[in-house]
Structure formats: C-alpha cells, structure tokens
Amino acid sequence: MTNNSVADVLIVGGGVIGSLTAYRLSKAGHKVTVVEADGIASGASGTSGGWLTPYSHALHPSMLALAPPSLALHRELAISLPAETGIDHGFTEMPYLRCAMTEEGAGELREFQAIRATEGTVMEWISAEEVRQITRWITADIVGALVSNSEPNLDSYRLTVSAVQAAEKHGATFVSGRVTGLTDAGTEGRAAGVDLEDGSTLSAATVLLAMGPWTGACGEWIGSPLPIKPQRGQMVQIATDNDDETPPLEAGFSAVELPGSVLKKRLTDTVVGATKEDVGFDRSTTQDALVLLLEQASRLSEYVATAQITGQTACLRPITPDGRPYVGRAPKWDNVYVAAGHASEGINFAPVTAVAMADLIAGNEATVDISALSLDRVVTPV
C-alpha cells in the first residue's frame, strides 16, 4: 500500500458535520483532510429540508438542551460563512404554524406549548382567524395554532458547500475515496490513518468517522458495535408562487393530527415532507410516497393539491436505538472519534456537534456538554 497524505486530523465523510468540523479545525490552524466516497453533501446533508427545529419528533432532554446553542451557532454561521465564501445558504427566519384541526389536537398543542415554556421557548396560541392573517394557505377548518418565531430554515446543500469552501480557504483538503478500515499503527488503541478501497492509505494523527448511516459499518473497525441504521426520508418540492390566483406563502406549517410539514424556502421551492421508511440503503424515490405526502398536506391546505410539483428527493437518515447520536471518542481508542446518528436533526445539530468535536480533538476545554452522547453506551465488544 502507498501512503499519499499526512494530516493532523482525517475526517471520513463530506456531509455537513464533517465539513463544519473541518472548517472549525482548519480555522484553528490544524491540518485537515476530508475523504468522501461519493460527493460533498451527497447524502442527507444535500437533500434535507433544512428546518432548524428540535421539535420535529421526540428528543432526549440532552439533545433539547443542545438546541439553543446550536441555533445560536447557525445564526453566527449565517453571517460568517457568506462573508468568507460569498455563498448565501438561505438562512431565513419566518413563522412556523402548528395547527390543530380538532379540540383534542388543540389540547395536545397546549401541552406542547407548556413544555416548551419550561425550556424558555415561547410559542403563542392564536385563533384560526389570526392564522389566516399570517397565511391564507391554511384552508382547512382549524381550531387554532401555535406560532413559533424561533425555528428558521436554510438550504442544507448550500450550507455544506459553503463550509467546504471556507475550510479549504483555511487549508483543509477534500479528497475522493472509499475508506475500508483503520490503518494499524502498531500500537493498541491507536490508528495511523485509514485504508482506502484502491489499496492506498491516508495517514493522520487523528481520525473522525462522520459517515451518516454508513458509520454503522465502522463498528467492525473500532471493535465495538455502532448500531446506526438508515431510515429513508422522501420529500416533494412544489412551486408556491407561480400564478396570480395562489396567495403567497409566508410561513411553514403542519397539523398536530397529521404527519409531515410544509416548509417555505427562500432560495428554493417549498418542501413537503417527509416519510420515515425502513428500507435499508435504498435511496430511490417512489410514487406512493409522493401521493401520500401531497394527500396529507392537502388536508390542511387545498393549495398544495393544485401546486406544481417541481421535484422529489430521498435521503437516508442515520438512526440509533435510543434516539441520541454517537458523538465522542471511540471506546478503547486514543485517536479515533465518531460523530453520527443524528436522525433527521443532522443539519439542526451540525454546528454544535462540530464545535464539540473540534474542542475534543484539539484537546481544548469543552464549550458544550455532550456527555449524554458518549459512545460509552456501546462499550460491549463486537
């Protein structure tokens, strides 16, 4: 085998977490190489809905606690990254409406509102009439809605590409290659880098595994299980501003009685999503999913049914058994780390994960508490 690269840190995976970590480390002066098997943001990072909410599904309290600092970092990145790269990644603050179609649903949202208030997140309950003052897209007979003004959205592909270009400006290198394992350093608990499918190696003082759902296969490399599995999420894109008869869409929305959501984007078409399918590593789109998503959203808004369909995407989310990602040092290893398993919240928690990994790898004092995400949960040998 040939050795063709030497780095302080080698990151396996060119998604948003790997790219933002590369940006943080390279900006701090570390020599970073990122190796990606397919293409930058070719997985979930490139096709995510980009909704910065920790409330799209039930989360562990430790993850909810990380949501405010991650959102604060997103707001910083919305200024700093475009200044470095010239790429607008579509970060947008706009209202989000959680509607109730029944009194039972209204009660559920009231309870949701009370829980959020204990966390310091204020969401106002408004009437159906007030909802339609925000957007006329809600055409169903609703009881009312919770309005949130602290759940922005962005373009996840542009964010990842911007992070890559910013990292490259600070000296990071991005290379193509499929990693097949860790390079034996001859010392227990240490890796000398990674082995590639073509027989070459990339050497590094530290290795970070951030391969989304494919990180689960790395359990064999580190000698401990990594129970990360793929979950397919399909979304449909629709044009919402293409005729004079359709009112403008000024907010994202959903109904507590229905799965899915409708997300207004600033730079791209509106997103209707998303499915949750256990189909292995199948990234194909299906007609059944398209019909289902549009039918569900149309129950809340008749304009969804008449909108022009402009696209359909599918991505694979990395799912863990307990709903928490694995972020930290790999068990029994001195210089191998893992950051994966964020389910549908990868974009949301990418900035805080990148900061945590950069601190940990550089040996700095931790600025965020990720102890609940430790890989100590999977210390049983394979």
Supply the pLDDT for residue 1. 39
Whole-number Å distance between alpha carbons of 239 and 12 = 36
Backbone angles phi, psi at 152, to 5 degrees: -70, 175
What the block records as the tokens of 42 is 């070719």
What is the DSSP code (8-state) at residue 44?
Answer: H
What is the DSSP code (8-state) at residue 51?
Answer: B
Task: Please write the tens of the pLDDT for every residue from 84-104.
Answer: 999 999 999 999 999 999 999
**What is the average per-residue pLDDT within 104-109?**
96
pLDDT higher than 60, residue 380: no
Whole-number Å distance between alpha carbons of 129 and 304 = 20
Looking up tokens 């993850």, which residue turns up? Answer: 63
Strand partners, 175: 35
Whole-number Å distance between alpha carbons of 13 and 38 = 9
pLDDT higher than 80, residue 354: yes
Whole-number Å distance between alpha carbons of 255 and 11 = 39
Comparing 119 with 379, the larger pLDDT belongs to: 119
Task: Please write the tens of the pLDDT for every residue from 23-35.
Answer: 999 999 999 999 9
Confidence of residue 382 (pLDDT cuts 50, 70, 90): very low
Task: Find the helix or strand (DSSP H, E) in which 330 lies.
Answer: none
pLDDT higher than 50, residue 144: yes
**What is the average per-residue pLDDT within 242-254?**
83
User: Computed from CA positions of residues 290, 154, 106, 238, in that sequence, does the dihedral angle turn out positive or negative?
Assistant: negative
Strand partners, 36: 176
Could you give the domains of the chain? 3-83+156-227+322-378 (3.50.50.60), 95-151+230-319 (3.30.9.10)
Task: Please write the tens of the pLDDT for every residue from 47-94.
Answer: 889 999 988 766 788 888 899 999 999 999 999 999 999 999 999 999
Supply the pLDDT for residue 378. 81
In terms of residues, how long is the chain? 382
Task: Find the helix or strand (DSSP H, E) in which 252 lies.
Answer: strand 252-255
For 73, other C-beta atoms within 10 Å of its C-beta total 20
Whole-number Å distance between alpha carbons of 353 and 70 = 8
Backbone angles phi, psi at 283, to 5 degrees: -105, 20
Task: Give the alpha-carbon dihedral of 339, 177, 26, 171, to 10 degrees.
Answer: -170
Residue 75 buriedness (CB in 10 A; 0-12 / 13-18 / 19+): middle
Supply the pLDDT for residue 4. 62
Query: Is the CB of residue 50 less than 8 Å from the CB of residue 151?
Result: no
Task: Give the alpha-carbon dihedral of 53, 54, 55, 61, to 10 degrees.
Answer: -160
Supply the pLDDT for residue 57. 65
Confidence of residue 381 (pLDDT cuts 50, 70, 90): very low
Give 3-state DSSP helix, strand, coil % of the chain, rounded to 5. Answer: 35, 25, 40
Whole-number Å distance between alpha carbons of 229 and 326 = 12
